[in-house]
Amino acid sequence: MRQHTRDAMAKGEKTERLAVLPAWRETAYFDPVERGALELAELVTDIATADRSDHYPTGVAALTADQVAAVTWVIIAINTLNRVAITSGYPVKPA
């Protein structure tokens, strides 16, 4: 997480947006495409409790088919690495 934050800031991301990321639904910091990607990330990541009544939530409609495919693959790759780290007991070192 720290490395991702450092990388995002090095690429010009604002601390205000990073600080409110967990509450992205309640802010106006993210445009419709970003909101769609965040909604898709939640859907793909939270497989146990995500609402499957619709294939994709309405916010994902802001993304093109190519964006949905690309974002989904990135989410799957990150989730895979996180799950490997969690199940292997990989220690998180303080900064």
pLDDT at 73 (0 to 100): 97
Token code pair at residue 23: 């509450």
Question: Which residue, among 73, 2, 67, 80, has the nearest Cα to 34 in the 3D structure?
Answer: 67
Do residues 63 and 33 make contact, with C-beta atoms less than 8 angstroms apart?
Answer: yes
pLDDT in tens, 61-94: 899 999 999 999 999 999 998 889 889 988 777 6
**Euclidean distance between CA atoms 95 and 93, whole angstroms:** 6
Do residues 26 and 2 make contact, with C-beta atoms less than 8 angstroms apart?
Answer: no
**Euclidean distance between CA atoms 47 and 71, whole angstroms:** 16
